[in-house]
A = this chain, B = another copy of it.
Amino acid sequence: MTNSGNHMTADEFRRHGRTVVDWIADYMQRVEELPVLSRSQPGEVQAALPSAPPDEGEPFDRILADLDEVVVPGLTHWQSPNFFGYFPANTSGPSILGELVSAGLGVQGMLWSTSPACTELETRVLDWVVDLLGLPERFRSDGPGGGVIQDSASSATLCALLAARHRTGGGDARQMTVYASEQAHSSVEKAARIAGFAYDAVRFVQTDAAFAMDPRALNDTVAADVRDGFTPCMVTATVGTTGSNAIDPVGEIARVCRDHETWLHVDAAMSGTAGVCPEFRWLHNGVEAADSYCFNPHKWMFTNFDCDCFYVADREPLVAALSILPEYLRNNATVSGEVVDYRDWQVPLGRRFRALKLWFVIRHYGVEGLRRHVRRHVELAQQFAQWVQDDPDWELAVDPPLNLVCLRHRAGDAVTEAVLQRANATGRMFVTHTRLDGRYVIRVSIGQTHTEQRHVEQAWCLLRDSAAAVLAEP
C-alpha cells in the first residue's frame, strides 16, 4: 500500500489533521493509565523500525498506527499526572495549538523584516511576562533592556556568559572566572566550556544548610581570584536549584557582583513561574540588580518545550557579542536601527515563531488562572511534605520552599534508592533522585498540568508500600 508521494493537499491536511488532533486528545485521556517510565529496552524501538527509508510514500494512517505500536511504548510519559521526575515539562491545549499555528505558518523570525509580527509579538509578550512575574522594569523592552525567547535555560546562560565576556573586555576568556553555587545546574559549566573558558574556570561556591549559595563564601572566592590575577566574569545565582529547589540570596550576591563589577545572571528556570503569585514574589528579591535573568515557561507554565524567557538589563553587550551582518541579510529595517533583529540575541540564525504558544497560554489562562494552578501545585507539595514529616520512617531533606519535595527513608541510602527503583517499576509513578550532603534523596516534583490530589496521594502510598516491601526483603 503506497501513496503518490505528492504534496498533502489542504483538504487532505484537514482530514489527517483532525485525526491527529483526536489522537492527541485520546492520548491526553489515557496517558494516566500508561506506565510512566518507559519499559523499553535499549535497541528495542530501533529494531521495530525498518532499516531503510521507504522508496514509495506510505499512507498517513500507517504512520499513525506506528505511533501506537512503536513510539508510545518507548515513551516516558512526561505529561502523565503521575510524573514527578526531574522538573516538570508541562504543556496545555492552548500551548499545543499555538505550536501548531507556528508550524502551519512556517515563518522565520531571524530578522524583524522576515516577519515583523514574529518579532513584535515576542517583544510584547515578554514585556507582559515582566508584569506577570513582577520582574524589574529594567527588563522591559522600552528601555535599554529587553527579553527574547531562547530554546532553553542552557542557551540563555550561554548567551548571558557571552555578553558578560564581551563586557569584561572581550579579552582572553582563559583568564576569566565564573561563579555558581555547588548546587547550580550543569549548564553553567557547559556554557563556560563552550565559550572557551579554562576547564577549571567555574568556581563552585559553598552553600549553606538550605543548599543556597553563601554570599560570604562567594565574596571570599572572588577576592582570592582577583588577587591571583583572574578576571571575574559572571556569577550565576540560582532561584530554585535542580537538586533541592534552593533559592540563592540574589540581593546579597548582587552586592558582591557590584563590588567586583561582575555580571550577575539569575537562573530561575523552574521556580520563576511562581512569581505569578504575589505571595511568592520574594523569590525575585534582588533581581532588580541582575544583568540578566531567565525562566522556562516550558517547565511549569503550561507551555510546551522549547520556551525559555531570557532578559537583559542592557541589550548592547549581548548584541555586540553575537551580531554579524552579512550582505545577504542586509535590509532597510535593520539598517534604519528602528527594529530589533532577534538573531543577534541568540546562537542560531533562524528562529521559529515561539511567542505564539506563550501568547496563547497567557490569554487562555489569564493571570488569575495561572495563579490558581501554580498555587495548587505548591499546596499539593506542602501537603506531601506534611505527610513526610508526620511519618516516623521518613524525613525531609530540606523544607520545600515551593513545589519540590526532597525526602529520604530513615533506614538509609540503600533503602531509599531501592524504594525509588521499586516505586518507579510499578509504572504508576515516576520520581528521580539527587544527593544532598552526600546522601541519597528522592525528589518529588509536583507541576504536571493534570496532577491532582489523588495522584499525589497515590504516589505517597506507593512510596510507603515500596518501603515496606523493600524492608521485608530477606
Contacts and interface: CB of A to CB of B under 8 A. Distances in A.
Size band of the interface chain A makes with B: 35 or more
Interface string A67-105: 100111111111100000010011111111101110111
Interface string A157-194: 01000100100001011100000000001110110011
A131 interface: yes
Report whether over half of chain A's contact residues are helix, strand or loop; otherwise say mixed: helix
Given A5-B368, A53-B367, A21 B24 contact: no
A22 B327 CA distance: 39
Contact of A76 (B9, B62, B115): B115
B46 A93 contact: no
Contacts of A186: 324-326, 329, 349
A352 to B, nearest CB: 5
A108 B305 contact: yes
B92 A8 contact: yes
A397 B386 CA distance: 74
Interface in A321-335: 321-322, 324-329, 331, 333
Given A100-B103, A243-B328, A3 B364 contact: yes
Given A16-B93, A51-B127, 7 more contacts: A17-B25, A45-B121, A53-B362, A71-B356, A89-B350, A100-B103, A195-B196
A62 B366 CA distance: 13
Interface string A32-70: 000001101011111001011111111010110001001
Interface in A341-381: 347-352, 356, 359-360, 362-370, 372-373
A273 interface: no
A11 interface: yes
28 contacts: A2-B366, A7-B93, A10-B29, A20-B101, A42-B116, A45-B120, A46-B123, A49-B121, A58-B364, A74-B118, A75-B115, A75-B116, A77-B107, A78-B105, A78-B106, A78-B108, A89-B350, A91-B103, A99-B100, A103-B304, A152-B350, A154-B348, A162-B193, A172-B172, A173-B196, A193-B324, A242-B328, A327-B435
Contacts of A93: 7-9, 12-13, 16-17
Contacts of A351: 305
Given A5-B369, A92-B8, A324-B186, A49 B100 contact: no
A327 B242 CA distance: 10
